[in-house]
Amino acid sequence: MGDILQLSNIQKRFGTVQALRDVNFTIAQGEIVALIGDNGAGKSTLIKIISGYHAPSEGRMVFDGREVHLRSPNEARSLGIETVYQDLALVENLSLWRNFFLGKERTSAGWLNVLRREEMEEACMEALADMGIRLRSTREEVGHMSGGERQAVAIARAAYFGAKLLILDEPTAALSVKETERVFEIVKEVSRKGVSVILIMHNLGQVYQVADRFVVLERGVQIGNFTRDQTTLDAITQMVVGVH
């Protein structure tokens, strides 16, 4: 499979502060990459560059075979780079199907934009079933669902609407072990469907269960890039906490 994202020599300066230097890695199609490092390592800056919030000061970004210069998050999204934030993903007081199609509603022709409700309910049900999420009805309010279920739905939604690269920022924060496993199942499911995933997580034990590759940052510098076969949990833990 080809590469979905190639970063070469990415640098980012904010005034005189060098936030990132020399970041080089590639993400293959369907690959799950964990971006790890302590607070202030530059993970957020890098994510914001990939998702179009910041432009890099230097460096090349090739997405899906073409060099890109993202000017806005919307541009990134339209290319297929979707960021899912845990607490920003869904509107609790709306039903599941309304959330799923929020901003991308299917409507009948005419200025009133009447919702094609049954069609969307069915499509939502099918799309979730396709990701391994089985349910009876999509009319339930999202506020009644657990954190893990919401996260799963948000990920499934992004994949359904054509995301090629999903960025998940702390997707399992404040989730129970069981819920975390559910979220990981969905992450694996979308990756099997060819969607690449970047995971930012502090819990290395958890992220080690699911990621194919680990990119380690420290104070803006990329200090490691391993596939799972090349490393162990102990080794990456020691790199992150600085015993190396």
List the one residue out of 21, 27, 56, 50 whose CA is nearest residue 222: 21
Stretch 145-174 residues interacting with another protein (CB under 8 A): 145-146, 149, 152
List the one residue out of 182, 152, 186, 212 whose CA is nearest residue 29: 212
Interface segment toward another protein; rule CB under 8 A; list 10-18, 38-46, 64-72, 142-150: 142-150
List the one residue from 17, 134, 177, 242 that touches another protein (CB under 8 A). Answer: 134
Token pair belonging to 182: 């559910």
Handedness of CA 101, 97, 146, 177 (dihedral sign): negative
List the one residue from 103, 205, 242, 243 that touches another protein (CB under 8 A). Answer: 103
- State the minimum distance, in angstroms, from the CB of residue 102 to another protein: 5
**8 A C-beta contact, residue 37 and residue 218:** yes
Interface segment toward another protein; rule CB under 8 A; list 4-12, 57-65, 178-186, 217-225: 178-186
Indicate left, alpha or beta for 184 from its phi (over 0: left) and psi (-120 to 50: alpha).
alpha
Q: Does 59 bind another protein (CB under 8 A)?
A: no
- State the minimum distance, in angstroms, from the CB of residue 218 to another protein: 30
Residue 161: C-alpha distances to residues 31, 66, 191 (Å) = 19, 21, 15
- Of residues 35 and 145, the one with the C-beta less far from another protein: 145
- Of residues 54 and 182, the one with the C-beta less far from another protein: 182
Specify the residue for token string 């980012």. 12
Q: At 4, is the secondary structure helix, strand, or coil?
A: strand
Stretch 70-99 residues interacting with another protein (CB under 8 A): 74, 77, 85, 88-94, 98
Instruction: Indicate the DSSP class of residue 109.
Output: S
- Of residues 143 and 162, the one with the C-beta less far from another protein: 143
Which residues here bind another protein, judged by CB under 8 A?
74, 77, 85, 88-94, 98, 102-105, 107, 112-115, 117, 132-137, 140-141, 143-146, 149, 152, 182, 185-186, 188-189
